[in-house]
A and B are shown apart, each in its own frame.
Chain A
Amino acid sequence: MKILNRRDLLKGAGALVAGATLPISLVEMAFADSSLNFTFAYISDSHIQQIKGSKFVRNWDRGLIRAVAEANLMNPRPDFIFYGGDIAQLGKKSEIDHGLDILSGLRDKVHYVMGEHDYYLDLGEHWKKRLGPDHYSFDHKGMHFVVLNSILTYDDWTYDRWKDGEERMGVMAGLDDHRGSPFMVGEKQRAWLKKDLAKVDVNTPVTVLSHSPLQKIYRGWNFWTEDAEQIQALLKPFKKVNVFYGHVHQIQYNQIGNISFHAAMATAWPWPYPQSNAKAESSLPKLTVQMNRADPFFERDATGWQYIDIHSGNATMNFSLPDNSPRTVAFNPATGRPEDVKYQHNRIPPQTHF
């Protein structure tokens, strides 16, 4: 399994890299036939927020601008880039357009995932107009990729409860708003997924991208997908499955049966781990070595992006973290699960959250 270090990765980056680390996740996938190994970058959760007219929140803009700049410096080039959802904060056309303006600076093809902040104002109308379907699949170098819209919810919540889209978006945008509703992929897409996977050989590694985790972590903040078990069941026949998700703004990883799970950092801001909510029960995977506690005095801290190396259908997740050492979480064939290559058994004080 090859792990690129940042110096190799951002070769030629010069002055920008000297003091900088970026919020991207880069994923490298590896195969027995090494010509099938490849890398893709993964940027997520920018939450572009309009103040008024052409004024947007500077902090969130900067996070995305930095991720785009760093991803463009990757060497070797990634095969493509995933954007993990939540371009916008309140789903406005102006926010989606402004975010896509910044993302248009990327030199590589981008595949987009729908986030709830892109959806609940106009039910994804503008997003789809700009970016196309919210669920699709494609094949790349022996791997089958599937993108799902996992942030749908019960119809009565979506259609019958709110005076307008703005109110609906406002409620869903509040992570801890108790009037929210659990995310789900839904019956229609599950039927589509079943049909899509029917034509894929079980030996083909499958990678699924969704905005919410396709596992149940903490319902109070919607670190949750209501029909996660049903999706996992559809993925069960395949020998190797990777699931990448955004939404949680933090490092999380897990192994459930044949499925390796990885979360992406946000470019905008970090979120506390669910157990930091004194009133909540959560089930953060015990496997996860948490990211360092964020320093509020450094606005890019605990944000980032990632690049992913694919080897033999397994993923190595590389986190680029400003003002922190980069983190690498790789599939360990001996234990059959993703593990932090440095900290899995050697945790450091900042990884303890309260």
Chain B
Amino acid sequence: MTSKTVTMVVLITAVLLMTGIQAVQADEYTSADLELWQNEYDAAVKRGRQVFTDQKLGTNGVVCAQCHPNAANTHPETYPKYQKQLGKVATMAEMINFCIMNPLEGSALALDDQRMVDMQAYITNERKGESLAPGKH
């Protein structure tokens, strides 16, 4: 075995051990965990707001918030829904890419691009409390 392979084996073993330990405690989480999850989510919302107001997201300096103050008129609670112009049921990420490509004159993001995830966190957070109504309006 090369030293690189040895390192890999050691790492994998370490990961397995850790996973094993975690499995024992899977149903137990602490307030520190809750805090971590909340902080991670809040950080994504905050980054999402930055992307939503980022003049560099597209190519013409137009930002999402220009037409969507407080992410209004984005309706995350209604997706997936039928978009007559696309001729199919679409997700919100597809509509975000429509806006990036058209009013912002930019290039579509990968659906798992961090900015795409963060924007959805921000948009959904702004609509917190609205009932889920997929397929509607």
Contacts and interface: CB of A to CB of B under 8 A. Distances in A.
A57 B98 contact: no
Contact of A174 (B53, B67, B78, B127): B53
Contacts of A220: 70
B79 to A, nearest CB: 13
B61 interface: yes
Given A175-B69, A176-B69, A272-B72, A57 B62 contact: yes
Contacts of A297: 85, 98
B127 A299 contact: no
Contacts of B137: 293, 352, 354
Nearest to A273: B72
A276 interface: yes
A239 to B, nearest CB: 37
Given A278-B126, A297-B85, A51 B70 contact: no
Interface in A38-97: 49-51, 57-59
A354 B61 contact: no
Q: Is chain B's interface secondary structure helix, strand, loop, or mixed overall? A: loop
A295 B70 CA distance: 19
B108 interface: no
A202 B55 CA distance: 50
Contacts of B126: 277-279
B13 to A, nearest CB: 49
Contact of A299 (B59, B61, B68, B102): B102
Contacts of B130: 278
Contact of A59 (B68, B72, B78, B103): B103
Interface string B75-111: 1001000000100000000010011001101000000
A221 B72 CA distance: 11
A57 B69 contact: no
Interface string B43-75: 000000000010000011110011111101101
B98 A174 contact: no
Interface string A208-252: 000000000000110000000000000000000000000000000
Contact of B67 (A51, A269, A277, A354): A269
Given A269-B66, A272-B69, A51 B60 contact: yes
A271 B70 CA distance: 11
A272 B61 contact: no
A16 interface: no
B70 A279 contact: yes
A174 B49 CA distance: 12
A58 B60 CA distance: 9
Given A296-B99, A299-B103, A277 B72 contact: yes
B117 to A, nearest CB: 21
A280 interface: yes
Contacts of A352: 137
Nearest to A59: B103
Max chain A Cβ within 10 angstroms of own Cβ: one of B53, B61, B103: B61
A270 interface: yes
A278 B69 contact: no
Nearest to A280: B70
Contacts of A58: 60, 105
Interface in A310-335: none
Contacts of A277: 69-70, 72, 126
Interface of A: 49-51, 57-59, 174-176, 220-221, 269-272, 276-280, 293-297, 299, 352-354
The 6 closest A-B pairs by CB, nearest first: A176-B69, A272-B72, A297-B85, A276-B72, A272-B73, A175-B69
Given A174-B53, A176-B70, A278-B130, 16 more contacts: A49-B60, A49-B62, A51-B59, A57-B60, A57-B61, A175-B66, A176-B65, A269-B103, A272-B73, A276-B72, A278-B129, A279-B126, A293-B137, A294-B73, A296-B95, A296-B103
